[in-house]
A = this chain, B = another copy of it.
Amino acid sequence: MNRKRGVILLSGGMDSATLLYLAKRSGYDATCLIFDYGQRHRKEITAAQRIARRAGCNAHLVKINLPWKGSTLLDKKVKLPKGDIHSRSIPSTYVPARNIIFLSFALSCAEAINARAIFIGAHTEDYSGYPDCRKEFFSAFKEVVKKGTKAGSKDKGIAIEVPLINSSKKEIVWLANSLKVPLELTWSCYQGARLPCGKCDSCLYRAKGFLEAGLKDPLHDR
């Protein structure tokens, strides 16, 4: 059987883990890309690798080097900002062009392995401040796929799937639950300590999601 192939951007957090299980349920033979981009929360890389293994998928670890940094997520000398999920401005954890870089690698991989789609777990609730998580950005990137690649310019092309874009964190928790995503393997905290800090943006969003969904975060049972 020749199943359709999909490339999944897997970060190790709960959104992209849910995305992976969603792509699998939609019949995709999934190839995961996991990025080591110098992020201070190295734990998410191990988390992503475990999730891919659990899901029985191929995974490529892609190491990239951003020597110019430009983000508190990359620079250990700078203190992480205190979480503030009500702020409307772009947080200092924003990594310049991160999703653009990730998608361009996914595109290269998709073209090389004849994949039909690329899946990215961005959504607007968490990352209202991140320009590369907005719908307008993904629309623009679809044009790049069409105009700038060999495979993308063909009839079927390569789809950019952002199925969680309109979901809230609460809905993602429910969806993950129904897809039996191993949430206990996921990692969200920007600090890479043994336990989640509970204070950074990423922890705050996760806690809010579980709270609103009325479910318990299995990470806290460990």
- Residues of A whose CB lies within 8 Å of any CB of B are 60, 62-71, 90, 94-101, 103-105, 107-113, 131-132, 134, 136-137, 139-141, 143-144, 146-153
Question: B97 to A104, Cβ gap below 8 A?
Answer: yes
Instruction: Please give me the residue from chain B that is nearest to A112 by CB atom.
Output: B70
Give the shortest distance, in Å, between A122 (CB) and chain B (any CB). Answer: 11
Number of copies of this kind of chain in the complex = 2
Known: A66-B112, A96-B112, A100-B104. 12 other contacts (CB 8 A): A63-B63, A66-B109, A68-B108, A68-B112, A68-B113, A71-B112, A104-B104, A132-B149, A134-B147, A137-B148, A140-B144, A141-B148
> A109 to B101, alpha carbons, bound, how many Å?
11
Question: B140 to A147, Cβ gap below 8 A?
Answer: yes
When distances are taken between beta carbons in the complex, the residues of chain B under 8 Å from A132 are 148-149
A62, A64, A96, A110: residue with the most chain B Cβ atoms closer than 10 Å:
A96
Contact partner of A144 (CB less than 8 A), chosen from B60, B63, B137, B151, is B137
Secondary structure call for the A interface? helix
Give the shortest distance, in Å, between A148 (CB) and chain B (any CB). Answer: 4
Given the known interface contacts A144-B137, A144-B144, the answer about A97 and B64 at a Cβ–Cβ threshold of 8 Å is no
Instruction: Please give me the residue from chain B that is nearest to A90 by CB atom.
Output: B150
* A-B interface, 10 closest residue pairs, ranked by CB to CB distance from nearest: A70-B112, A96-B111, A97-B108, A137-B148, A68-B112, A140-B143, A97-B107, A100-B104, A132-B148, A96-B108
When distances are taken between beta carbons in the complex, the residues of chain B under 8 Å from A107 are 96-97, 100
When distances are taken between beta carbons in the complex, the residues of chain B under 8 Å from A103 are 104
Give the shortest distance, in Å, between A45 (CB) and chain B (any CB). Answer: 14
Give the shortest distance, in Å, between A95 (CB) and chain B (any CB). Answer: 8
Question: A65 to B68, Cβ gap below 8 A?
Answer: no
Given the known interface contacts A70-B108, A104-B100, the answer about A144 and B147 at a Cβ–Cβ threshold of 8 Å is no
When distances are taken between beta carbons in the complex, the residues of chain B under 8 Å from A96 are 107-112, 149-151
Question: A63 to B65, Cβ gap below 8 A?
Answer: yes
